[in-house]
Structure 1
């Protein structure tokens, strides 16, 4: 084979992955990239009167976004709630995935089917389910009263705790399946080898299992954070009226106040924040890449 033919073969080999990814790249560009650019441009337009927007260029919306306590409190509330729900989803999902991994194969289908249940139900149906669980006359209050744990009926409906639980329930399946895929790539004999060398279960978990699954933990957290940051219906339906998240303000600016540039500015900040978390978690993964199975 001549040098020219070898060079052509090398070029084809280098282009092959890009050609395979080309359809996906086109879809991402058309349905995500272009709308994102249009949204970013919208955030700099003017909002002078009752019109949705007036073409122009101004930074006033971003200045107002970071100087108005209404918006800064909503950003802080969204981040705080998303981080708490994501940590809880990862912790529960990790425990559940570890249980499924250690159980015999006969139990696996049952547990996987159980984890799939929330994904087979719409978010609105899930919200209606929590509406029957959290109120004063709901299932939770009745169960606690019947068990003798409380003396009077309680209501957790329209509280931050209810919004927190709803977000954890929505994101838990994604964390579980991400972490289960990581566990499936491990050799169970590592646990036996650690025990044979005299390591107690806690030491085996900290020094063997946790480093090997660290990448999965970071991926599960970032995915949960993305979902919880962008979810609007669940915290709005289960939380109190004072729980103003970024999703709530975006729809309010868009539909109630007809201020499309401010809604676009809020959305742009949300996208940038989520992207920053993804970059940060990716940087942590690269540092521990040698531990990934």
Structure 2
């Protein structure tokens, strides 16, 4: 009996062992190397000099340029994640309530951004935001503006690009959570006299709060580490952590500082994941 119990306890770990080995080899070892690199010295124009110093971490939080980039990255990631969750929730709710015949169409529409590379998406926005782009032409034709306008190389363009990239992931997370809800609870709420808004606020929203937390955290993780979209669509003054990591590593040949920036990003992602996990019960975590 004791042997069977031990075998049942070890079975999940044996099933996860191949995945754990892959994570350790391809993520754990490089992460440990990057952590060690962040404490090395940077002298002259050499990439790094073996040593041990906390100087790079101290500079991260004392240099106004670096602290400004950290704040800009977090602010942009938070606002983009909030917008993504709001839009994704509305889209997922629409698909969930639609008949099955419409579902395939909307799911295919949500899959489209995942079938295109990030570079191709950026080129698409380059044709949409400029002064002679599609958006300016549409607004001018509709009579909403009297002269052509350009939103290219603005923080708004970077914001829209980030929302577009992360929206499909948010949508599928929320849709999977809604699919686990019995629609009859909405009918029961209506039978008890609750209006649509009250049903949403007191029935549907509490039942999907875990999905909202997971969707927000996933969107935040994607947006805080994205480099290409903010750099290509935003202004030259939009210095994010991804941009500074690239600049420190390739422009200034300062690998320890780039590694320190990367470790701060990893720490931020870990904090977000821990915060999301703390909001979930074991049953909710298993369902999501």
Q: Is the 8 A contact 1:123 1:234 kept in 2?
A: yes
Following TM superposition, where does structure 1 have runs of at least 4 consecutive aligned residues deviating by more than 3 angstroms?
286-290
Aligned with residue 34 of structure 2, among 19, 39, 57: 39
Shift of 1:287: 9.7
> Is 1:212–2:207 an aligned residue pair?
yes
> Is 1:149–2:158 an aligned residue pair?
no
Secondary structure, in 3 states, of the residue corresponding to 2:51?
Answer: coil
In structure 1, C-alpha distance between the alignment counterparts of 2:94 and 2:190, rounded to whole Å: 18
Aligned with residue 69 of structure 1, among 54, 60, 64: 64
**Number of the residue aligned with 1:94:** 89
In structure 1, C-alpha distance between the alignment counterparts of 2:224 and 2:280, rounded to whole Å: 21
- Where do 5+ consecutive residues of structure 1 fail to align? 1-5
In structure 2, C-alpha distance between the alignment counterparts of 1:90 and 1:287, rounded to whole Å: 23
> Is 1:239–2:219 an aligned residue pair?
no
**Number of the residue aligned with 1:109:** 104
**Number of the residue aligned with 1:271:** 266
Secondary structure, in 3 states, of the residue corresponding to 1:165?
Answer: helix
Secondary structure, in 3 states, of the residue corresponding to 2:149?
Answer: coil
RMSD between superposed Cα atoms in Å: 1.3
Deviations 1:1-31 (A, max 9, x none): xxxxx11111111100000000110111111
Shift of 1:278: 1.0
In structure 1, C-alpha distance between the alignment counterparts of 2:220 and 2:90, rounded to whole Å: 19
Deviations 1:190-215 (A, max 9, x none): 00000000001111001100000000
> Is 1:255–2:240 an aligned residue pair?
no
**Number of the residue aligned with 1:49:** 44
In structure 2, C-alpha distance between the alignment counterparts of 1:217 and 1:33, rounded to whole Å: 29
**Number of the residue aligned with 1:177:** 172
In structure 1, C-alpha distance between the alignment counterparts of 2:210 and 2:29, rounded to whole Å: 31
**Number of the residue aligned with 1:3:** none
> Is 1:9–2:4 an aligned residue pair?
yes
Aligned with residue 80 of structure 2, among 76, 85, 88: 85
> Is 1:230–2:225 an aligned residue pair?
yes
In structure 2, C-alpha distance between the alignment counterparts of 1:288 and 1:9, rounded to whole Å: 25
Aligned residues: 287
In structure 2, C-alpha distance between the alignment counterparts of 1:107 and 1:91, rounded to whole Å: 21
Q: Is the 8 A contact 1:46 1:57 kept in 2?
A: yes
Using structure 2 for the length normalisation, give the TM-score: 0.98
Using structure 1 for the length normalisation, give the TM-score: 0.96
